[in-house]
Amino acid sequence: VPVPTDLAHARDLDARDELAPFRDRFVIDEPELIYLDGNSLGRLPRETAARTQDLVRDQWGRRLIRGWNDGWLSLAVRVGAKIARVIGAATDEVLVADSTSVNLFKLVVAAVQARPGRTRLVTDDLNFPTDVYVMQAAARLAGPGYGVDVVRSPDGIGVPLDTLAGAVDERTAVVVLSHTAFKSGFVYDLAAVTELAHRRGALVLWDLSHSAGAVPVDLSAAEADLAVGCTYKYLHGGPGAPAFLYVRRDLQANLSNPIAGWFGCADQFGFGEEYVPAGDLRRFLSGTPPVLSLAAVEPGVDLILEAGMERIRRKSVGQTEYLIALWEAVLTPLGFRLRSPRDSGSRGSHVALGHPEGWRIARALTERMKVIPDFRPPDTLRLGVSPLCTTFAEIHAAVQALRMVVEERLFERYSAERSGVT
């Protein structure tokens, strides 16, 4: 049955949404602004605004250096333990530090060193550029003969397991993939891919940036080796918030951090001349964390845990399904193509729509219609659903705005030249 395209239906879906009350837990100063870019930068939790004020004014302002012993020193581990519960890891397998790019570097280099004689690093062409750049750098550092193999997606949307399997063999040191692809939203079967790599003796490193807080992940059940991810997307950590990294417990003592620093050594305040790494995951810390940003990650993670990944996923699937149904009914005649998997089982929390005028449509939406999507070249609009904040009525309004921008050719008023953050 076709989905009703009227606003009353959207309102009815909102009225029946069990997570609807969570929207009030966020700072929403401009309720008429339709924000569909939580997959790039999540909204600000009210609690974070209050806690940041306390952190700056009272903790830094009054406690000064004593703040480290009051709790700053353990933040990386403490917040990591909470994120662990979101991604199905044990509490001593996750910590928060550095950026996703830097954590990728640390873990890719460690993985390659842990598989001597294996010279191939495998990824796919759906992966985020930073992942590939880091892998290329790690391969160069490892020496001659090392290199990155990029598996091609047949349709630009997903990669079948068989296709991936063809690229993983006894020469593979590590497979690095985004669990949820940043452009199409395609989701890999994490357990199946991990098992495939293990059968061939390779390690797997998962980039969970577009999954954590939106798509359920069970690293322990899959016996996944390594993972990293952003906290500023669906975890609502804030712009530039430090990232998380995961190393399965039994691997921790055998992997070396290439950015050996004093925060990762066994006796940080012994100030010894020789680097002796911590016996546990803390060896993957490097230097002093950005305490203000790190502390700001916690309230968003608390909200995710309170809502629960199961309910979050149910709403996310309901909302992307609704968006795709509206696309089919309203937007297909206007030239929009679905660039995400149709099957919700292999789709994350955003929907990608292709249109030859994608960039100018994105501009018109942002500047004229008060709808914020984002844009990925050459022609893809991403519409992200942030399950704790997004309403069905907003999705309805965004589709109506897309229709109007194209029907009335409002995009023609904007320049085709790209600039700034897109």
Ligand X SMILES: Cc1ncc(COP(=O)(O)O)c(C=O)c1O
Note the residues at the interface with ligand X (CB under 6 A). Answer: 99-101, 128, 130-131, 178, 182, 207, 209-210, 230, 243
Residue of 22, 35, 105, 128 marked active site: 128
Nearer to ligand X, 38 or 277 (CB): 38
Catalytic residue, chosen from 183, 283, 363, 382, is 382
Task: Clarify whether 207 is annotated catalytic.
Answer: yes
Shortest distance (Å) from residue 9 CB to ligand X:
33
Q: Which is nearer to ligand X, 130 or 163 (CB)?
A: 130
**CA 229 to CA 80: how far, in whole Å?**
11
- CA-based nearest residue to 351, from 390, 378, 371, 324: 324
Question: 182 or 322, CB closer to ligand X?
Answer: 182
Q: Please compute, for residue 116, the number of CA atoms within 13 A of its CA located in the half-sphere on the CB side.
A: 1
For this structure, is 382 an active site residue? yes
Q: Which residue lies nearer to ligand X by CB, 185 or 277?
A: 185
Active site residue: 22, 26, 182, 232, which one?
Answer: 232
How far, in Å, CA of 213 to CA of 223, rounded? 20
CB 300, min distance to ligand X, A: 15
CA distance 367 to 410: 11
Is 315 among the residues known to form the active site?
A: no
Cα gap 336→369, rounded to integer Å: 18
Report, in Å, the least distance between residue 129 CB and ligand X.
Answer: 8
Sole residue written with tokens 């008060």: 370
Please list, residue by residue across 68-91, b when 16 or more beta carbons sit within 10 angstroms of its beta carbon and e when fewer do: eeeebbebbbbbbbbbbebbbbee
Please list, in sequence order, all residues whose beta carbon lies within 8 angstroms of the beta carbon of residue 301, skipping any fewer than 6 positions away. 79, 82, 83, 86, 213, 231, 235, 236, 237
Nearer to ligand X, 35 or 392 (CB): 35
β strands within 243-347, DSSP E? 243-247, 337-338
Question: What SS3 string covers 104-141?
Answer: HHHHHHHHHHCCCCCCEEEEECCCCHHHHHHHHHHHHH
DSSP string, 7-44: HHHHHHHHHT-TTGGGGGGB--S-TT-EE--TTTSPPP
Q: How far is the CB of 131 from ligand X (least distance, A)?
A: 6
Strand pairing report for 120-124 and 94-97: unpaired
Shortest separation between residue 212's beta carbon and ligand X, angstroms = 10
User: In terms of CB distance, is 75 or 208 closer to ligand X?
Assistant: 208
Task: Please indicate whether residue 128 is annotated as part of the active site.
Answer: yes
Cβ–Cβ under 8 Å, residues 233 and 213: yes
The CB-of-230 to ligand X minimum distance in angstroms stands at: 5
DSSP state of 259: S
Q: Which of these is catalytic: 25, 43, 106, 233?
A: 233
Which residue lies nearer to ligand X by CB, 178 or 184?
A: 178
Q: Nearest distance from residue 248's CB to ligand X, in Å?
A: 20
Q: Are 354 and 379 in contact (CB under 8 A)?
A: yes
Q: Which residues are catalytic?
A: 128, 207, 232-233, 382
